[in-house]
């Protein structure tokens, strides 16, 4: 079932589909990662692409719940950053394509908000 976006802000970034799939830098057209469609509830991502462009993504849905902050770290399974409680894949950031990033992502299953800075 398709979800209805409440907020969608993209800066120097495009998505393969409305709220998920491959993520691209608009300046150099490089693929910077992959956002799993159905496992996240909210995403805030700021990044600097290797080409020098600053990108930003903010996505959440009309049915999004207010998440709860947690100190747990995302786990990596087959290059995907996953919820450590549910093992759900949430997002892949291609570290070799970005110089740095800051992210907050909410797992749809457990409503935990995970933060990652690199």
pLDDT digits (tens, 9 = 90+) for 65-104: 889 999 999 999 999 999 999 999 999 999 999 999 999 9
Burial class (CB in 10 A: 0-12, 13-18, 19+), 90: buried
According to the model, what pLDDT value does residue 1 have?
Answer: 61
């Amino acid at each position: 079932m398709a979800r209805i976006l409440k907020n969608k802000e993209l800066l120097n970034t495009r998505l393969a589909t409305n709220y998920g799939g491959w993520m691209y830098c608009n300046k150099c057209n490089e693929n910077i990662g992959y956002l799993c469609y159905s496992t996240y509830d909210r995403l805030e991502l700021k990044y600097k692409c290797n080409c020098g462009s600053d990108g930003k993504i903010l996505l959440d849905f009309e049915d999004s719940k207010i998440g709860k902050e947690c100190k747990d770290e995302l786990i990596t399974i087959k290059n995907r950053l996953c919820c450590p409680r549910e093992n759900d894949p949430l997002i892949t950031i291609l570290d070799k394509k970005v110089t740095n990033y800051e992210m907050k992502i909410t797992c749809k299953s457990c409503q935990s908000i995970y933060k990652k800075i690199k």
